[in-house]
Each structure stands twice: as C-alpha cells, then as structure tokens.
Amino acid sequence: MSGKTTIGIVGARGHVGTELIKLICGHPRFDLAYVSSRERAGRLVSEFEPSYRGELRYSAPANEDLPTLGADAVVLALPNGKAAACVAAFDFANVDPVIVDLSADFRFDPAWYYGLPELTRVWHPGKRRISNPGCYATAMQLAIAPMREFINGPVQCFGVSGYSGAGTTPSDKNNPDKLRDNLMPYALTGHVHEREVSTQLRHPVEFMPHVAPHFRGLTITANLHLRTAFDREAVLARYRDAYAGEPLVRVFDDAPWVSNIAGRQHVELGGFTLSEDGHRLVVVATEDNLLKGAATQALQNLNLAFGFDEFAGIPLDTHAEAA
Ligand SMILES: NC(=O)C1=CN([C@@H]2O[C@H](COP(=O)(O)OP(=O)(O)OC[C@H]3O[C@@H](n4cnc5c(N)ncnc54)[C@H](OP(=O)(O)O)[C@@H]3O)[C@@H](O)[C@H]2O)C=CC1
Ligand SMILES: CC(=O)N[C@@H](CCC(=O)OP(=O)(O)O)C(=O)O
C-alpha cells in the first residue's frame, strides 16, 4: 500500500459506511485496507463509489478473521448489537487497532472514549476505543451545551430525521411509500439518544423523534427553561463564544433549514428565541445525520487518534456565512 495509515470498514455497504469510503478516498493520510459487506462481497468498490480508483473489492470476513487483516484502525458501521463480537475477536487475538464504533453499543461503557470532539476532545489523547455519538445526540448536545449551567429542569427536544437515519434494513421508517406526505413519530420516550444525551450532559433531556420523507438531514428543536433571565444578544454571544474557531459548528441568527444541510459536514445552530420573561429559550439545530451525525465525526475521531489535524480530509464548504 501507500505508506498511509490504513482503515478497515466493517459494514461498508450501509449509508454511513458509504459516506466514510468517500471521505477516506479524499483523505491525504488514510487509505482503505478493507471494506466488508456480505451482500457486495467480491464486487469492486469502484463499481459503487466512483471516487475510489483502486482495485479493492468488498469482502465478507468472519469476525475471527478481522484481526488478521492488518488495518491500523477499524470502523464498525454495523447495526446496533453487532459490535461487541467484532471487538471480542480483536481482544481474543491480542490485536489492538484503533476501533471507532458507530453504533450505540459502547456509548455507555466508561472504558470507551465518547468522541464528540467539540465537547470531549480534551479527553481524547491516547484513546484507542472510540464510541461515535448518535446522530440526533450530536445535534442535541451541541444545541444545549452552551446553556448547560443555566438550565432549570428537563430539556425537551423535538427531532425530525430524514429516513437514511433508519439504515438500509427495510422498515416503516425507511419505506418511502409509507413516508410520503407523512411524519412518523416513534420511540417517544426512552430513545437511546435521550439516555445518551442525558448521560453525557448530566442533565435530563426528553426527546421526541420523528422520521420525515426526505432522505438525509435532521432537525432538533430544543426547549430550554432557564434559571436566569436572558436576552437574545447574551444568548447569541454564549453560542458564538462556545463555538468560536469550530469549523464544524456554525451559529446563525435565523433558524436553520434542513434543506440546506444535506451533503454538508457541519452542524448549524440558530433561531434563538426567548419567551417574554427571558426564562425560556428555543434553539434549532440541523445536521446531515450521515456526516457530522456519523461519518464526518468518525473521521474527526480517527484524525485525533493518529495525531493528524482533526479536520484533515473533511471538505469544509464556505458558501453559507455564519452569523
Ligand atoms: N444512518 C444514520 O444516520 C446513522 C447511523 N449510525 C449508526 O451507524 C451504524 C451503521 O448505520 P447505517 O449505515 O445507517 O446502517 P445500514 O443498515 O445502512 O448498514 C449496515 C451495514 O452493516 C452490514 N450488516 C447488516 N447486518 C449485519 C450483520 N448481521 N452482520 C454483519 N454485517 C451486517 C450491512 O452490509 P451487508 O448486509 O452487505 O453485510 C451494511 O453494510 C448503525 O449502528 C447506526 O445505528 C449512527 C449515526 C447516524
Ligand atoms: C430515523 C432513525 O431511525 N434514526 C435512528 C438514529 C440513527 C443513529 O444515530 O443511530 P444509533 O444511535 O443507533 O447509532 C434511530 O432513531 O434509531
């Protein structure tokens, strides 16, 4: 291979695995070692991903064969519940690549680093087992964190995701016919991202997710009750300060629209609206669930794990001006 750091992707046919292949193809320091898919085993990656110009083919290694494949890092992009068996195979073989898990399987395991770099990168150095946050959970935490110390009582978050969030295994939530002209509520209490955000922020969050007919991009509308009365300027100043110098978090005056975020790497925050008494704040966040909600964040985590620039290989567009 090329002297580059090599990455294996397990579950590379999926929506997130596909985005990660594209990002790694454009990365100056990473190269693909292997990409697994049972359905595409034997097929050339270039058949599915034109930006990949090599001869690599999808393969379908058994878990116990993964440690023999020799990648410097492994990204697990499998459905929930499948990661532990892969990790156990590496442990059993005493092979210790950097592992980034995209599922929810290790997000509550204190032995794993929770990688939402804008909020947790200070704890990253030396971490080789990295749990990538959930898509909605990323947007919720970035929307709430700057006001965390002033929040009074639970935060309510109304979420609407494009149906790529539901993966490729057929279900009502990714069935375009059932989604047409529709908004599908689900997991209205107890969604894993509710628990994830409440745990990470150490503050209760109540999350009500929905799926919509668009393919990619999600919106979170967060309702925060505040102990202290705020005016809009003070709120905006807190968000601008919190994310100053963060290329993947942009703060706007107006509420962001999901139609503007598909295919883009960053999270947008905006629409800061206060009640008349200044004690209730509503904030809107949008994000491409497959990018900052998954693959882009995984790339930030991989860059940090190998000591590269955190944003290497992440195409930062500039066409929308932050407020
Ligand atoms: N979609 C999203 O917006 C986000 C997803 N995530 C998480 O990322 C992970 C991947 O999501 P996504 O790409 O949407 O999922 P998909 O359903 O699109 O893809 C799943 C991948 O896993 C493989 N796979 C499925 N079942 C198995 C199995 N039993 N054993 C081995 N491989 C299997 C599939 O390939 P094949 O069947 O060919 O082997 C496919 O490559 C999930 O854990 C998801 O929760 C996180 C944030 C956002
Ligand atoms: C629309 C839809 O179904 N979205 C997924 C979230 C995708 C995600 O972030 O997944 P994990 O936390 O499982 O990794 C869901 O609600 O389960």
State the distance from the centre of ligand 1 to the C-alpha of 253, rounded, in angstroms.
35
What's the confidence (pLDDT) of residue 323?
35
Can you tell me the distance from the alpha carbon of 49 to that of 53, in angstroms, rounded to the nearest whole number?
9
Give the side-chain half-sphere CA count within 13 A for 250: 26
The closest alpha carbon to 87, from 7, 79, 97, 121, belongs to 97
Most informative mutation of 140, 182, 193 for ligand 2 (most atoms within 8 A of CB): 193
The yes-or-no verdict on residue 321 having pLDDT over 90 is: no
Residue 155 DSSP class: E
The yes-or-no verdict on residue 318 having pLDDT over 70 is: no
Cα 65 to its chain centre, rounded Å, is 28
Q: Is residue 273 assigned to a domain?
A: yes
Q: Is residue 226 assigned to a domain?
A: yes
Can you tell me the distance from the alpha carbon of 289 to that of 113, in angstroms, rounded to the nearest whole number?
21
CATH code assigned at 281: 3.30.360.10
Q: Is the CB of 62 under 6 A from ligand 1?
A: no
Task: Say which residues have a Cβ less than 8 Å from residue 150's Cβ, sequence separation at least 6.
Answer: 226, 227, 228, 230
Q: Is the CB of 78 under 6 A from ligand 2?
A: no
State the distance from the centre of ligand 1 to the C-alpha of 204, rounded, in angstroms.
28
- For the stretch 23-32, what's the b/e string if a residue is b when 16 or more beta carbons lie within 10 angstroms of its beta carbon? bbbebebbbb
Same domain for 15 and 125, yes or no, is: yes
Helices and strands, number each (H, E), in the chain: 9, 13
Active site residue 135: yes
Same domain for 121 and 207, yes or no, is: no
Can you tell me the distance from the alpha carbon of 264 to that of 150, in angstroms, rounded to the nearest whole number?
31
Q: What is the pLDDT of residues 196-252, one digit of tens each?
A: 999 999 999 999 999 999 999 999 999 999 999 999 999 999 999 999 999 999 999
Same domain for 141 and 269, yes or no, is: yes
Q: Which ligand is nearest to the CA of 171?
A: 2
Locus of tokens 């929506």: 15
Same domain for 32 and 17, yes or no, is: yes
Q: Is the CB of 61 under 6 A from ligand 1?
A: no
Residue 282: how many CB atoms within 10 A of its CB?
17
Same domain for 159 and 272, yes or no, is: yes
Q: Are 229 and 247 in contact (CB under 8 A)?
A: no
Residue 323: how many CB atoms within 10 A of its CB?
13
Q: Higher model confidence: residue 238 or residue 126?
A: 238
Locus of tokens 């693959």: 295
Q: pTM of this prediction?
A: 0.97
Same domain for 230 and 93, yes or no, is: no
Ligand 2 atom nearest to 166, measured from its CA: 3
Same domain for 76 and 40, yes or no, is: yes
The yes-or-no verdict on residue 140 having pLDDT over 90 is: yes
Lowest mean pLDDT among 124-128, 213-217, 236-240, 253-257: 124-128
Q: Is residue 63 assigned to a domain?
A: yes
Q: Is residue 319 assigned to a domain?
A: no
The yes-or-no verdict on residue 322 having pLDDT over 80 is: no
> What's the CA dihedral at 164, 194, 120, 284 to 10 degrees?
70
Averaged over 276-286, what is the pLDDT?
99
Q: Is residue 312 assigned to a domain?
A: no
**Range(s) of the domain holding residue 101:** 5-133+293-305
User: SS3 of 82, please?
Assistant: coil
Same domain for 168 and 46, yes or no, is: no
- Is 0.90 exceeded by the ipTM? yes
Q: What is the pLDDT of residues 176-200, one digit of tens each?
A: 999 999 999 999 999 999 999 999 9
Same domain for 76 and 9, yes or no, is: yes
Q: How confident is the model at residue 146 (pLDDT cuts 50, 70, 90)?
A: very high
Same domain for 74 and 84, yes or no, is: yes
Averaged over 276-284, what is the pLDDT?
98
Counting the structural domains of the chain, the total is 2
Q: Higher model confidence: residue 164 or residue 125?
A: 164
Q: Where are the alpha helices (DSSP H) in the chain?
A: 15-25, 45-48, 83-93, 117-120, 135-144, 176-179, 192-201, 232-242, 296-305
Task: Kindly report the average pLDDT of the chain as a whole number.
Answer: 96
Strand pairing category for 155-161 and 218-225: antiparallel
Token couple for 158: 């109304």
Q: Is residue 139 assigned to a domain?
A: yes
Q: Are 146 and 119 in contact (CB under 8 A)?
A: no
Q: Is residue 219 assigned to a domain?
A: yes
Q: Is residue 316 assigned to a domain?
A: no
Q: How confident is the model at residue 317 (pLDDT cuts 50, 70, 90)?
A: confident
Same domain for 169 and 236, yes or no, is: yes
The closest alpha carbon to 154, from 166, 168, 144, 146, belongs to 144
User: SS3 of 133, please?
Assistant: coil
Most informative mutation of 13, 43, 99, 138 for ligand 1 (most atoms within 8 A of CB): 13
Same domain for 155 and 210, yes or no, is: yes
What's the confidence (pLDDT) of residue 74?
98
Q: How confident is the model at residue 258 (pLDDT cuts 50, 70, 90)?
A: very high
Can you tell me the distance from the alpha carbon of 31 to that of 27, in angstroms, rounded to the nearest whole number?
8
Q: Is the CB of 80 under 6 A from ligand 1?
A: yes
CATH code assigned at 63: 3.40.50.720
